[in-house]
Amino acid sequence: MLHVQGLTGGYGKELIVKNVSFDVQPGEILGILGPNGSGKSTLLKMISGILPKQAGSVKIADRDADSYSPKEFARNVAVLPQMHAHAFSHTVKATVELGRYPYQTGLFSSWTTEDEAAVTHAMERTGVTRYENTLIESLSGGEQQRVFVAQALAQQAPLLLLDEPTNHLDIAYQQQLLDTVRSLAVDEGKTVVSVFHDVNLAALYCDRLLLMENGEIAKIGSPQDVVREPIIQSVYKAAVKTQAHPELPKPQMTLLPSMNDSVEVPLVVDETQFTVTADSVQFHAPHSLKTVSSAVHNPGTGWYTTFVNRHVDANYECDDVKKEMEDYLEKSGHHLTDTVGMMTAVQTLHVEIASFADEGVSIVIAVTAGVGNAVDVSMAREREAHVGTINTWIIVNGRLSDEAFIQAMITATEAKTRALQTEKVLDPLTGTQATGTSTDSLLVAATQIGQELPYAGPITPLGKLIGTGVYECTIRAIQTYKEAKGWKG
């Protein structure tokens, strides 16, 4: 649909776009990215014929763009400009009607039913019909932008060029607008080329991205190929980290601010910082710890300061455990967004807390263990789940990588299973060796200050501490549990 070959040009003598070539197919959205001054808007202006080109060619529908008359061009290419203020105001309807200008011919420019239908359709499509007699200046920025989308749609052009369409829009409008653009491409086969300021939005909505640097193409390809740490860092000269979108197979990036001001005194966690009562085990950190857990409240990955392992009755039953947990935490004066909460039927006073240090690495481990629901995972069938019975916390003084978190969890789980084996805990249903209980929970938190700890496999310094620490604490916790229950160890 759009074929750009060796496009070169700029303002006056200064070349802003140099030798840019690419193709866009019908139904495809191409996002143009790049730092300020990289020439992305200039490129779009050259394609839309606002700026003259000094070399190269632009072909639209296999025809040279220069060979179109102004009206013909507008029937084939609709441009959505950046938002700006206007001196005089039209009504919404009159504004959208201007989109039919390229279809008007003759002195009296008769308005056809087709024109009317296109305008009505465009206004419905963008949800601005109810404003049709309102002056655009009295609409909010997002609504105004929708009116201009409607105007562009009324042009019924197969190629859409957008210049930072979401500028000045709040996120709901950004989403609405880009969802509309997406469905124009997917459902109606329109070809879309859009300049983006926001790398993440572009990665979310575009099929391909074109990254500009100093007027040239730095990279063109799928979002996965373009939104990569080394590429973004070198083009944008900014420290970023990329990660997967939580729900979609699209890359997203976040800035890494250079903040050295957060912690003056490095935090070193040890067992004395834990508060143990008959009601709960609590640990409160002076700053947030990066945490991965299978807790009841705030599971998954996040940054938290407060960690609560709460004692509940063995017959605890509740329809909405999460809600009940929130109520409990709130009542106990904890801030819900800063807190990770687990529960156990085990007496919290029986918690095993210990610090372990070696080779300059130090961790704190806290385990509450009850083995009433012990399960051999290899023989597990359908069983009723009871309240979690082995809750393990591992708090690391150091900076963990993503893989270190996962390895820490593997290592801890292996150590726990080994402890059950040592204590000869059996699955009461099968009589075989138990590997855990039905609802065990695990939490790994790290201060993310100080020493880099990239790995936590069983033979790394950190892995060794976790392995032996979890093993020892779990054994002691099980022994305490057995004594309390009056079992003979």
Query: Which residue from 133, 260, 262, 315 is in contact with other proteins, where contact means CB under 8 A?
Result: 133
Residue choice 3, 59, 90, 418 for contact with other proteins (CB under 8 A):
90
Please give the torsion angle defined by the CA atoms of residues 445, 446, 447 and 453, in that order, rounded to the nearest 10 degrees.
Answer: 180
Contacting residues for 267 by C-beta, under 8 A, at least 6 apart: 285, 286, 287, 397, 447, 449
Considering only 85-93, 245-253, 428-436, 455-463, which stretch makes contact with other proteins by CB under 8 A? 85-93
Q: How far is the CB of 101 from other proteins (least distance, A)?
A: 5
**Using CA atoms, how far apart are residues 481 and 323, in angstroms rounded to an integer?**
29
The C-alpha atoms of residue 48 and residue 52 are separated, in whole angstroms, by: 10
CB of 296 to other proteins, least distance (A): 53
Taking the alpha carbons at both ends of the chain, their separation in whole angstroms is 77
Binding mask 104-123 for other proteins (x = CB under 8 A): x--x-x--------------
**160 part of the interface to other proteins, by CB under 8 A:** no
What does the DSSP 8-state code read for residue 233?
A: H
Q: Single out the residue of 9, 49, 158, 398 in contact with other proteins (rule: CB under 8 A).
A: 49
Q: How far is the CB of 290 from other proteins (least distance, A)?
A: 47
Residue 289 near residue 303 (C-beta atoms within 8 A): yes
Residue 70, interface with other proteins (CB under 8 A)?
yes
Q: Which residue has the tokens 């909010």?
A: 140
Sequence-separated (6 or more) residues with CB below 8 Å from residue 315: none
Q: Is 102 in the site for other proteins (CB under 8 A)?
A: yes
> Residue 128: which of 167, 165, 94, 87 has the closest Cα?
94
Judged by CB under 8 A, the residue of 26, 35, 81, 302 near other proteins is: 81
What six digits make up the tokens of 344? 């156990």
User: Cα(442)–Cα(327) distance, rounded to whole angstroms?
Assistant: 22
Per residue in 428-467, is it b (16+ CB within 10 Å) or e — as a string? eeeeebbbbbbbbbbbbbbbbbbbebeebbeebbbbbbbb
User: What is the nearest approach in angstroms of other proteins to the Cβ of residue 85?
Assistant: 8
**155 makes contact with other proteins (CB under 8 A):** yes
Closest CB 135 distance from other proteins, rounded Å: 8
Going residue by residue from 6 to 45, which x/- string records binding to other proteins, judged by CB under 8 A? ---------------------------------------x
Pick one of 73, 356, 405, 481: the residue that binds other proteins (CB under 8 A): 73
Choices 19-27, 94-102, 337-345, 388-396 (CB under 8 A): range interacting with other proteins: 94-102
Q: Which of 13, 36, 62, 87 binds other proteins (CB under 8 A)?
A: 87
CA dist 245 and 203 (Å) reads 10
Are 400 and 385 within 8 A, CB to CB? no
Does residue 129 bind other proteins (CB under 8 A)? no
* Binder among 34, 99, 370, 467 for other proteins (CB under 8 A): 99
User: Can you tell me which of 6, 21, 63, 86 binds other proteins, judged by CB under 8 A?
Assistant: 86
Nearest distance, CB of residue 58 and other proteins, angstroms? 15
Minimum Å gap between C-beta 79 and other proteins is 4
* Residue 254 in the binding site for other proteins (CB under 8 A): no
